[in-house]
Amino acid sequence: MCGRFTLRTPASQLVQQFLLDVDSQLTPRFNIAPTQRVAAVRQQDGARQLVGLRWGMIPSWAKDASVGSRMINARGETVASKPSFRSALKRRRCLVLADGYYEWKKEGSQKHPYFIRLRDDQPFAFAGLWEAWQDPMAEKGDPPRETCTIITTDANELSASIHDRMPVILDAADHELWLDPDLQEAAPLQPLLRPYPSGEMTADPVSTHVNKPAHDDPRCVEIQRTLFD
């Protein structure tokens, strides 16, 4: 699964790397957690837009928002068939921007956090889906709540020793296809939902400081070469 991640990269670099049409101000994040807002890219009217989406997808047909906290991830193997995700896979895909994520490895009775990222520490995009949900109790004229989920797949060789699942990290060459609003068939997208190559990634143990979502500072990504604190 993917339950925490980072986005420390300056906004100016993200604008250039992900071909965004406008600049934006982003605060460096070291511990993004479910139900918080994430930076995502959608394509609309021929341009890529950087938007903020709440992490934890609420299907349009949901009766209340509580379901969102249980839908932070969607399994790549079943995303095309599950009622909660299949419509979004066809029509509402996005890139969720990140430059690292955390996973916890069980060792005895304890779980130790690891920080997983690309070897060059460059930003990347998770395969994401988004939805717009209208609260039935909202005031007239209130906009719908826009939420998202991150697709997961089997772990690659690097991360398998830590956890059996990992988020789908899209190759940069596949971003255009993933965002293409004219593509509304699941079959051409399924091959993209694969593990990222192990040789291009690295994983390091970090402090249990990251365990608390309220901790959102550089200490979260400090590598612990010996004992965990």
Proportion of the chain above pLDDT 70, given as a percent = 97
Domains annotated for the chain, with CATH where assigned, are: 5-101+119-200 (3.90.1680.10)
Whole-number pLDDT of residue 134: 84
pTM over 0.85: yes
Give the 3-state secondary structure of residue 94. strand
Q: Report the first-to-last Cα separation within the chain, whole angstroms.
A: 24
Q: Which positions are catalytic? A: 2, 103
Whole-number pLDDT of residue 151: 98
Q: Which segments in the chain show pLDDT lower than 70?
A: 23, 139, 141, 226-229
Q: What is the DSSP letter of 220?
A: G
Q: Tokens 């925490």 appear where?
A: 4
Over the stretch 124-161, which tens digit does the pLDDT of each residue have? 999 999 999 987 777 676 789 999 999 999 999 999 99
Dihedral sign, Cα of residue 23, residue 123, residue 125, residue 174: positive
Give the 3-state secondary structure of residue 196. coil
